Amino acid sequence: THFGFRDVPLGDKQTLVNDVFHSVASRYDLMNDLMSGGLHRVWKDIMITALDPPRGDRRFALLDVAGGTGDISFRAAKAAGPGFHATVCDINSGMLEVGRERAAKRHLKTQVDFVEGNAEALAFADRSFDAYTIAFGIRNVPRIDLALAEAYRVLKPGSRFLCLEFSTVEMPGLDRLYDLFSFKVIPPLGRMITGDAESYQYLVESIRKFPRPNAFADMIRNAGFARVNWQILSGGIVALHSGWRL
């Protein structure tokens, strides 16, 4: 096929992913709005509602993995009280740099930290966070089971794992429209804005390869999480998975 990313070995996948996000970092937030028609804002808000960070002084430490330019953490900080703190962890320094600038602009530098790191091997102590979020990130991680095990390890007992990710559109009618949009609109739009259609080709392919909601829920359970469930958003374009470390 003409799709370059399909058969890359596991070790090289992370390199490709890194190239993708380095090349789009400065335009990343604009692209999100354009490509989702602003819908990513709605999906992210639904995640924040599920997270439900405390509004008072109670200390609450969020770990936002693959947090990129900080969207989830900023939204959570806005919804939360003064006891809230977020650590954005991402493997890509370019994304983190954009995030730091955004934090400064929003006067959130003390509430939101940016740390370089790999979801598969987190540099945080066991049982150190009150919540773990990963939005549109886990699909990019080569070994998802390792990332889930790490999520479980760093969470305090009684705290929550939340994952927002593109899913599978199975609604008749919408599925064909979505295919058309994915293959005919996204890559050219990506080329127009970032000069890089390949990165967006990768995006579309990685979405297709990601497990169905029930299969992904099994993976979350296998990592040790309890009360695992999920919510389908926008006809299956996105799913929000939830689990608890008890």
User: What does the binding site for ligand SAM look like in residue numbers (CB under 6 A)?
Assistant: 14, 17, 21, 65-68, 71-72, 90-92, 95, 118-120, 135-137, 140-141
Q: Judged by CB, which is closer to ligand SAM: 71, or 113?
A: 71
CB of 140 to ligand SAM, least distance (A): 4
**Is 69 marked as a binding-site residue?**
yes
Q: Which whole-number Å values give the CA distances from 203 to 44, 183, 185, in the listed order?
A: 18, 10, 12
| DSSP string covering 131-191 | EEEEES-GGG-S-HHHHHHHHHHHEEEEEEEEEEEE----STTHHHHHHHIIIIIHHHHHH
- Residue 16 or 171 having the CB closest to ligand SAM: 16
Q: Which of 37, 109, 45 is nearest to 72 (CA)?
A: 45
Q: Is 18 annotated as contributing to ligand binding?
A: no
Using alpha carbons, select from 151, 105, 100 the residue that is nearest to residue 124: 151
CB distance 199 to 135 below 8 Å:
no
Closest distance of CB 167 from ligand SAM, Å: 14
215 is in an annotated binding site: no
For ligand SAM, the closer of residues 171 and 191 by Cβ is 191
The answer on whether 168 is annotated among ligand-binding residues is no
CB of 22 to ligand SAM, least distance (A): 8
CB of residue 135 to ligand SAM, shortest distance in Å? 4
